Copies of this chain bind each other. A is one copy, B any other.
Amino acid sequence: MTTTTLPMLETYPQPIALDRVQLAATIDIIDDCAEACTTCADACLSEPDVAALTKCVRTNLDCADVCATTTRVLSRNTGHDLTTSRAMLVACAAACAACAAECALHAEMHEHCAICAEACRSCEQACNDLLAAIDGDS
């Protein structure tokens, strides 16, 4: 799928503090992670061993919500101030790390947990990379 994230950011009529290509790629990765987590939570609910997956459902739900808000905040460039963006990237990396760790425990039993764990790890990395860019370390 070709998203409109980058074409949209390229039309933003003012300067943007971050590199638009990296910003758009990060947003797409976070959006994809949110979708994976929502679907993984639901797939867990339909597994025969759901009782062993309740913490996985919960970390998936948290991660989906945190990711959704992070892309919202990152998609806004009006009234430039990176304080909230930074805090949400930190929270998003934390939620993704927690969800990746939990999903990894069930990855051998459940393919959705394996895919979701990978999506969470990619998202955690993308958040940390953007944090590094914000802090001028890259």
Contacts and interface: CB of A to CB of B under 8 A. Distances in A.
A138 interface: no
B51 A50 contact: yes
A94 B87 contact: yes
B84 A5 contact: no
Interface in A32-64: 32, 35-36, 38-43, 45-47, 50-51, 54-59, 61-64
Interface residues of A, number: 70
A65 interface: yes
Contacts of A88: 66, 91
Q: Which of A71, A72, A81 has the most CB of B within 10 A?
A: A72
A78 B46 contact: yes
Contact of A72 (B65, B87, B97, B115): B65
A98 B88 CA distance: 13
B98 A94 contact: no
